Structure 1
């Protein structure tokens, strides 16, 4: 039960960061802490669905892997940390930057925060207006009319596979 006790502050902090709302889903690797019965019971009590990476697939969570690669190759990443406090301070600054400032190509050059907060559509609209104004002012500068990158309709870690129905099979035959 010790694991659930130590996780409660973590879950409470995560919920507090999301306006007091529990997430609908939590995706994790298959580490012992996230597959333990106390954590599973805690998430079930909070009505949070759990999903896990596939067994023995180290790069199943591509978003997490991309974040770790960005962290690892960050020019400011130290060769080693002097203390746990140093590591925490560095990571706090890095993750704030990564989530609120770093533009991600896979989400239309938006930040994860803009996607999470629902502002990506408005930002894309403003970018389109700016690009249209630039094109109107100097069309010779462009080879074609510029548009901002599109936003993905959905983002999945492991997209569910749709099951075939009998009507799907009949249409193929």
Structure 2
């Protein structure tokens, strides 16, 4: 019967199903610090089962510098607004703030704040973690640390841990995505001078011991290179050429 119905093109969905228009892929570019911030909230397990604290963290996608971070006992748009105002007051107001579609991110409080400041609010597509890669990667780095506890004994303990992590990440963590610089070096403009010192030291080592480097013409290891721009969902090269 189904074979006959298929031949007559009568096998189809007969229920009335909701259809959703395709979501636009967010395409963001940052060519320097202070242009695009990404933020998200992650859960930290509390002292007993079922108790969680919320860590609000905002990162500059170009420098990977954490510009704002705080832990609260709940998730709320007003608390997110406070974190943003503190971050903007210290590091400047960005052009774009990117986030997922969580309740605090889409709250009227946050939307009004960004609109009043003239900041473009960018959103990830539903259930697409790759649309917010820098915040997701940051949380994974934090939670995969050997010292990350299974549970935090109190809100104060969680805040102390996050504060220590932010300082270490910003000022001591050598990030592979920014040429093995610390986020602070890139954020505050010290990376170019450090690159020149690295190149000079590498060239001196090549002249002193050429046998150690073989015939490779590469002046600098690829790991130490930095991209001039940072993207969220970089479009294909052919589309970028057409746009240009």
TM-score for both structures, normalised by structure 2: 0.59
Query: 5+ residue gaps in structure 2?
Result: 1-75
What SS does structure 2 have at the residue aligned with 1:26? strand
Q: Aligned equivalents of 1:80 and 1:36: distance in 2?
A: 29
1:10-25 mapped onto 2 (5 Å cutoff): 10-18=83-91, 21-25=92-96
1:15-54 mapped onto 2 (5 Å cutoff): 15-18=88-91, 21-54=92-125
Q: Which has the higher helix share?
A: 1
Q: Name the counterpart of 2:229.
A: 154
Q: Name the counterpart of 1:171.
A: none
Query: 5+ residue gaps in structure 1?
Result: 169-173
Q: Aligned equivalents of 2:235 and 2:115: distance in 1?
A: 21
Highest RCO, 1 vs 2 (Cα 8 Å, sep ≥ 6): 2
Q: Which has the larger radius of gyration?
A: 2
Q: Deviation digits for residues 63-86 of structure 1, max 9, x if unmatched?
A: 112211111111111121111111
1:153 is displaced (CA, Å) by 1.4
Q: Name the counterpart of 1:129.
A: 200
What SS does structure 2 have at the residue aligned with 1:86? helix
Q: Aligned equivalents of 2:201 and 2:144: distance in 1?
A: 32
Q: Which has the higher strand share?
A: 2
1:56 is displaced (CA, Å) by 1.5
What SS does structure 2 have at the residue aligned with 1:31? coil
- RMSD of the TM alignment (CA)? 2.6
What SS does structure 1 have at the residue aligned with 2:149? coil
Q: Aligned equivalents of 1:112 and 1:157: distance in 2?
A: 18
Q: Aligned equivalents of 1:6 and 1:61: distance in 2?
A: 21
Q: Aligned equivalents of 1:69 and 1:97: distance in 2?
A: 15
Q: Aligned equivalents of 2:127 and 2:181: distance in 1?
A: 32
1:13 is displaced (CA, Å) by 1.0
1:140 is displaced (CA, Å) by 2.0
1:17 is displaced (CA, Å) by 2.2
Q: 1:41 to 1:162 in 2, by over 3 A?
A: farther
1:16 is displaced (CA, Å) by 2.6
